[in-house]
Each structure stands twice: as structure tokens, then as C-alpha cells.
Amino acid sequence: MEREIDLKAVSDGRLYGANDMVKADCGDCEGCSACCRGMGTSIILDPLDIFRMTGYLNCSFEQLLEERIELQVVDGMILPNLKMAGADEACSFLNREGRCTIHPARPGICRIFPLGRLYENGAFRYFLQIHECKKQNRTKIKVKKWIDTPEAATNEQFICDWHYLLKDAERVIQEKKDDEVSKNWNLYLLKLFYMKPYQMGEAFYPQFYQRYFEAREVLERL
């Protein structure tokens, strides 16, 4: 999801790469779970998130949809997001002690928080959201370490490729101005990247890219 933001207002004005040090480390969060509550529909899930979650929970995408996640339209694309529910609008993976019960398989947006991503010229860099994390006196940590994601370079490429596939699709759909084309593309995207199960015993990225190149070809022909 791409949003117009005033970087000066929401960040420390700097952009960070994977090897930079950033003041994002809130320690162990120490009982705080503020960013797991009241997040609305903002924790949008990409195919890697679904691969991780369905593997960790040994369930299907459809089972996640029953109560854990929901679908929304983001810039013309139908995408899943973590569902916040209950009086305190909490993520369903948050336990009573305020801990994430899927920590090893938590989504990418949860991993980078309080960092955000700024996409530019086919790439992205991180920015530090200074008003989001409730913890005072955060310490410095290398971005790569904070994000805690294996195969960092491959992961960055995946994040970019996924983002720009959605952006290109959004542009094409807008140009077509055809509800049927939009509906068919969205169903195709949802089935191909989210509903079609991934092989859990195999690496994610080769499986993703097989689907990605197929989707690129389909998009070309729209």
C-alpha cells in the first residue's frame, strides 16, 4: 500500500538501508503490545506472510480467513490484512500476556515496525516512524537485525517485485476502466498468490517467482 506521507512530520527525516543503524530497538517490548491493537486494516499481508502463517499454523488461507484475517480493496487490488477484533481492537494472535503467539511467523509489517518503507525508482528504503512506538529511549540496532528475516537481499528483492507488480497492475486496471477486467484480475491474483497452497517443505522464493512471472505475462496481455 502506498500513501502520501509527510516524511518530515512522521519520521526523523532520514532514510535507512539494511546495513544502517536505526533507533528502532524497543528491547523486548516489556509488556507493551500497543502496535498489536487498533491498527485497523493497515497490516496488509503479502504472499510471504501467508506462506509463513499457514506453515506455522498448519492451516489454509481459507482457514485464516475464518477469523484471523480479512480481505480489503487496496488501490484497486483485493488484498488480505490482519483482522483486529474485540473491544480493544486487538490482533487475534495476541495472547493475554500481550505476546504475539506467532512471533516466528509474524508478518513483515510487524517485523519492521516502527519502520516504514518508502518506495522510489524501483527500490525502497526504510524510514523511522517517530510517533508510532510507545517505548521511550529506544536503542540503535542494525536495520537488518531488527527485521529478523533470513536471506535479506532476496527478501528485499521480493518486497520490491511484489510492490511493483501491484503498482503496475493498478495502473493497467485504471487505464482499462473495465469492471470485468478488474474483477477477473483480482480473483486471479488472490487465487494465484494467496489461495493456491505453497509447498511447505520447499523454499518460498522459487515458488513465488514461478507465480510472479506467470502473473507478469497475464498482466502484459490484459
Contact with ligand SF4 (CB under 6 A) among 7, 33, 157, 219: 33
Task: For residue 141, state whether it binds ligand SF4 (rule: CB under 6 A).
Answer: no
Smallest distance from ligand SF4 to CB 154, Å: 22
The grid cell for 55 is: 506453515
Task: For residue 69, state whether it binds ligand SF4 (rule: CB under 6 A).
Answer: no
Tell me which stretch binds ligand SF4 (CB under 6 A): 72-80, 109-117, 167-175, 186-194.
109-117
Residue with cell 499481508: 45
Tell me which stretch binds ligand SF4 (CB under 6 A): 62-70, 107-115, 188-196, 206-214.
107-115
Task: For residue 77, state whether it binds ligand SF4 (rule: CB under 6 A).
Answer: no
Residue type, 124: F
Task: For residue 195, state whether it binds ligand SF4 (rule: CB under 6 A).
Answer: no
Long-range CB pairs of 96-101, under 8 A, 24+ apart, other chains included: 97/31, 98/29, 98/31, 98/32, 98/33, 98/36, 99/33, 100/33, 100/36
Smallest distance from ligand SF4 to CB 217, Å: 33
Task: For residue 208, state whether it binds ligand SF4 (rule: CB under 6 A).
Answer: no
CB 111 within 8 A of CB 82: no
CA 100, CA 105: separation in Å to the nearest integer? 10
